[in-house]
Amino acid sequence: MGLGQTLLTIMALMLMGRLILTVNRTTLDTGFTKDMAEYRITATSLGTSLLESANSLAFDEATVDTFLLSTQISSLTADASFGPDAGETSYTLFDDIDDYDHYTRIDTLSNSAIFKIYGLVQYLDVSGSTLSITTSKKFNKLITVFVTSDYLVDYSVDPPKPDTLKFESVFSYWYFR
């Protein structure tokens, strides 16, 4: 074998080695991207699930069994009293939206990552096109759900930092005569 053939063989081996490394890197990146997407989809499912559960409940403890007129706003629960009522020891026993205030749950789906779900409920003042959080009783409540996990990481910054998904929904009480 001459010098030319030896050089061609060495170059072919180098090219094949580079190709193998590129394929391996692409496979690892694809697997990593798939895993991150799976964690984010699971976290999104958990967050929207909590919002949907809250959506199926009454607006306030005062509206569980009856309806309120606009003049009865004082009957609503004070924001300092938000949270589960006596006897509501599980989210399956919640009967109104504000029971989810400071609600925390740890969840694992199908041997996946461990997710922490946290709910926060606040009154919302709607004035024209502006929205603002208030402690005054209003016929609008904002529920915010935060979902975190050790596997939710923001890699768009250097160094990567833990990420939290945030979901919000406004619930309003309407009464039509």
- Tell me: pLDDT of 113 over 90: no
Classified as helix, coil or strand, 50 is helix
Q: What residue segments make up the domains of the chain, in order of their start? A: 3-172
Query: 52-78, pLDDT tens digit by residue?
Result: 999 999 898 888 877 777 668 888 889
Quick check: 153 and 162 in contact, CB under 8 A?
yes
Torsion angle defined by CA atoms of residues 43, 98, 143 and 55, in that order, rounded to the nearest 10 degrees: 70
Query: At 12, is the pLDDT very low, low, confident or very high (cuts 50, 70, 90)?
Result: confident
Instruction: Single out the residue of 146, 81, 159, 76 nearest to residue 115, CA to CA.
Output: 146
Cα separation of 101 and 121, whole Å?
A: 5
Q: Extract the tokens encoding 111.
A: 């041997």
- Tell me: pLDDT of 32 over 80: no
Cα separation of 96 and 85, whole Å?
A: 10
In this structure, what DSSP letter does residue 128 have? T
Cα separation of 137 and 173, whole Å?
A: 12
Query: At 24, is the pLDDT very low, low, confident or very high (cuts 50, 70, 90)?
Result: confident
- Tell me: pLDDT of 97 over 90: yes
Burial of 40 (0-12, 13-18, 19+ CB in 10 A): middle
pTM for this model (two decimals):
0.79
pLDDT of residue 75: 86
- Phi, psi angle pair for 115, to nearest 5°: -115, 140
Cα separation of 59 and 119, whole Å?
A: 16
Strands 130-134 and 161-172 come out as unpaired
pLDDT of residue 176: 61
Query: 126-147, pLDDT tens digit by residue?
Result: 888 888 888 999 989 999 999 9
